[in-house]
Structure 1
């Protein structure tokens, strides 16, 4: 896909992205890890809510 920027603007963007601070290697996005963290959080908060409810309603 061709750039919609002017050539001089594209050069500035390329220079910025090639700076050492902006060239961070990242691991690929893992959907299953995200879903696992969300599921664990929801289950954990649900268990805490049930525990607190049992303490209050005794």
Structure 2
């Protein structure tokens, strides 16, 4: 893909992206893990609300 920046600006962008704070290794995104976490929190809060309603009635 060609850049629409002039060569000098493109060089500045490349230098900026090579700084240490922009080279952080990240684990791959796992959507199934996110789904499990969201479902666990939702079920846990649902059970907590049933427990609270049972104790107050």
| Distance in 1 of aligned mates of 2:6 and 2:18 | 18
1:1-58 to 2 correspondences below 5 Å: 1-57=1-57
Query: Which blocks of at least 5 consecutive residues in structure 1 are unaligned?
Result: none
> How large is the Cα RMSD of the aligned pairs?
1.2
How many residues are paired up? 57
Deviation beyond 3 Å, 4+ runs, structure 1: none
Q: TM-score, normalised by structure 1?
A: 0.83
Normalised by the length of structure 2, the TM-score is 0.85
Distance 1:54 1:36 in 2: 27
